[in-house]
A and B are shown apart, each in its own frame.
Chain A
Amino acid sequence: MPDAAAHELERHERPLPSNLRRDQPLVPIDNVAGRALMAVIAILTFLAALSAGAAVLAARASEQWRGAVANEMTLQIRPDSRRDIEADIARAATMARAVPGIASVQPVPRSESDKLLEPWLGTGLDLVELPVPRLIVLKLNPGTGPDLAAFREALRREVPSAILDDHRLWIRRLSTMASTIILSGAAVVLLVLAAAALAVAFATRGAMAGSRDSVEVLHLVGADDDFIAREFQSRFVRLGLRGGTIGGIAAILVIALLGLLSSRLGAAPEAEQLQAMFGAFEIGWAGYGAVVLVAMVVAAISGLVSRITVRHHLRALAGGAP
């Protein structure tokens, strides 16, 4: 610096102020637009996080159903006028007990199987004359698969009136339903993430248009496209993180509140239905993890999309000069 000219101009020797830099972002983004974008991101994150939570809830519930149903089988003994049904039940039960992997065998007494018909036939009826099938409930040891083909074959030979139902059909249907719910949840999450990306892209374009002068000044003082893109990106990552955090926290609160309500109303019949459908209304750590992940992905998308948009815009500017 030309020191000789220094005396010409005002010069005071003072210690340097320590708080010179205010850490202002170099590209100003309209605060109103910024807040609006943050609100949009928060709402989208909230919806995506709820969908992710619902998918996790369905996955957990379907696992519970499947576990409960798959650990049980039913032997049905059809009445046959030529055979003694009680003897058939005893024989089938004995055979079942001999199968490795079956933990317990519980023939349903006549009185209880009659009770199962009460809702349809009413009380006070004598069902002795009716050919009502009888059931034997078989509980399986978890993790061991008994040799069902051999068991079926033995039953067919010795107790031809017995039918073994291993609930496979039910399990398949439940799996399909649960998979549909999980896939729908995942699709909603993807759609919402795409909407967030588009919102950020439009907001970035708006911010770029509003900061055209600043961008040109930055270019002319020696900033490269990477630097400018980073400036925009850090601004939008911050907006995305804030919006994502607000939306994620709101979703966690709503899920926790629903769980609390369902446990408070546990005694009511409606709540019992809900419990039967979804198990305990509880998404567990995996569910909360999914919510947090959604919020983080939203923030990451905000940064990435703004960076790509800025780079694209800067390339267009460079190519568009006369």
Chain B
Amino acid sequence: MVRFENVGLRYGMGPEVLKDITFSIEPRSFQYLTGPSGAGKTTLMRLVLMALQPTRGLVNLFGQDVSRLDAATLTAFRRRMGVVFQDFRLLDHLTLYENVALPLRVLGKDEASYRAEVVELLRWVGLGERMHAVPPVLSGGEKQRAAIARALIGRPELVLADEPTGNVDPALGRRLLRLFMELQSLGTAVVIATHDLGLMELYDAPRLVLADGHLHVDA
């Protein structure tokens, strides 16, 4: 599904922040991406999302080399992925309902066709009462759950979650983790970037460990 071979990334003329990254994400897999803060977890996720282009190496997504992708295929690939940003990246002027419905709205779907589904998902992540609220009035945990709901609404084949439990209490963190496990059992590949060792101990899965720009797989 995703294959990185000797991928390197540098910003401008600076030093390489990611060096010789080689790993793959298989369909229906579950893995953690871990490492100390600042190790480049978010950068690596942005590479997978094609929000950044590698300065060297090969990135292969859904069987295609991304360096030769046209804009339409890029958009089509992004629609097969769901992403939870560490800083949520909710649009502040939209309600939670509108934020969660965004991936469906950009597909040009009629609002009536997805309304029930979005409301159901919002209730499912415990935000049924808050769907009319705008993000600035929400707590970190609520924003986190809205960001997760937005990543899941399009039924993606791959979910990338950057610190998805970073802003919630341990109990809710465990529930959210179970949600991701459930997704995986239903056929979605899941990558969770976290440095929360406690979380990783709850469910054993391969770990992609980033340190000093290098990555090694800790199975």
Whether A217 is near chain B, meaning CB under 8 Å from some CB there, is yes
Query: At the interface, yes or no: A125 with Cβ under 8 Å from chain B?
Result: no
Q: Count of chain B residues with Cβ under 8 Å from any Cβ of A?
A: 54
For residue B89, CB closer than 8 A to chain A, the reply is yes
Residues from 46 to 92 in A contacting B, C-beta threshold 8 Å: none
CB distance from B211 to the nearest CB of A (A): 22
Asked if A16 and B116 sit within 8 Å, CB to CB, the answer is yes
Partner of A221, one of B9, B116, B128, B150: B150
CA distance in complex: A21, B131 (Å): 10
Q: How many angstroms between the C-alpha atoms of A225 and B71 in the bound complex? A: 8
Q: Does A10 contact B (CB under 8 A)?
A: yes
| CB contact between A20 and one of B78, B119, B121 (< 8 Å): that residue | B119
Residue on A nearest B127 in the bound complex, by CB: A10
Chain B contacts for A322, CB-based, 8 A: 9-12, 52-53, 55
A-B pairs with beta carbons under 8 Å apart, 7 shown: A2-B183, A22-B98, A24-B94, A221-B83, A221-B106, A227-B106, A322-B9
Beyond A222-B103, A223-B75, whether A21 also contacts B98 by CB under 8 A is yes
State the Cβ distance, B105 to closest chain A Cβ, in Å: 7
User: Given the known A-B contacts A24-B94, A322-B9, A322-B55, are A9 and B103 also in contact in the complex, defined by CB atoms under 8 Å?
Assistant: no
A12 at the A/B interface (Cβ < 8 Å)?
Answer: yes
Report chain A residues within 8 Å CB of B183.
2
Q: Mark B30-61, 1 if CB is under 8 A from A, else 0.
A: 00000000000000000001011101000000
CA distance A237 to B131 in the complex (A): 30
Chain A residues in 8 Å Cβ range of B75: 219, 222-224
* Residue of A whose beta carbon sits closest to that of B156: A222
Chain B positions within 8 Å of A14 at CB level? 128
Q: Hey, what's the 0/1 contact readout for A203-225 against B, CB within 8 Å counting as 1?
A: 00000000001101111111111
A26 touches B91 (CB 8 A): yes
Interface size class of A (residues with CB under 8 A): 35 or more
A28-B134 Cα distance, complex, nearest whole Å: 14
**B108–A227 touching, CB < 8 Å:** yes
By beta carbon, the residue of chain A nearest B131 is: A20
**CB-contacts of A122-141 with B (<8 A):** none
The yes or no answer to B202 lying at the interface (CB within 8 A) is: no
* Contact A21-B79, Cβ < 8 Å, known A5-B182, A6-B124, A224-B72: no
Using A5-B182, A9-B124 as known contacts, say yes or no to A220 and B97 having CB atoms under 8 A apart: no
Report whether B186 and A2 are in contact in the complex, using a CB–CB cutoff of 8 Å: yes
The reply to whether A12 and B128 contact each other, CB–CB distance below 8 Å, is yes
Known: A2-B186, A322-B52. A217 touches B91 (CB 8 A): yes
In the complex, what residues of B have CB within 8 A of residue A11's CB?
123-124, 128
Instruction: Check A220 against B123 for contact (C-beta < 8 Å).
Output: no
A295 and B115 alpha carbons, distance in the complex (Å): 38
**Binary per-residue interface labels of chain B (166-204) against chain A in the complex, 1 for a CB within 8 Å, 0 otherwise:** 000000000100110011011000000000000000000
B215 within 8 A of A: no
For the complex, what is the distance from the CA of A224 to the CA of B72, rounded to whole Å?
7
Name the distance in Å between B185's Cβ and chain A's nearest Cβ: 8
Shortest distance in angstroms between A287's beta carbon and chain B's nearest beta carbon? 42
| Interface residues as binary, B68-83 with A (CB distance below 8 Å gives 1, 0 otherwise) | 0001100100110001
- Give min CB distance, A219 to chain B, whole Å: 7
Nearest B residue (CB) for A225 = B71
Smallest CB-CB separation from B12: which chain A residue? A322
Partner of A321, one of B53, B106, B185, B186: B53
Which residues from chain A contact B178 at a C-beta distance below 8 Å? 5, 8
Q: Which residues of B contact A12 (CB under 8 A)?
A: 123, 128
Inside 8 A of A22's CB, which chain B residues have their CB? 95, 98
State A222–B83 Cα separation when bound (angstroms).
11
Expressed in whole angstroms, the Cα–Cα distance for A225 and B70 within the complex equals 12
| Distance between B54 CB and nearest chain A CB, rounded to angstroms | 9
Partner of B78, one of A4, A28, A219: A219
Q: Which residues of A contact B10 (CB under 8 A)?
A: 322
- The reply to whether A220 and B83 contact each other, CB–CB distance below 8 Å, is yes
Q: How far is the CB of B181 from chain A (nearest CB, A)?
A: 9
In the bound complex, residues from chain B placing their C-beta under 8 Å from that of A221 are 78, 83, 102-103, 106, 150, 154
**A220 in contact with B106 given A4-B182, A213-B89, A225-B71 (CB within 8 Å):** no
Q: Which 4 A-B pairs have the closest CB atoms?
A: A2-B182, A222-B79, A223-B106, A10-B126
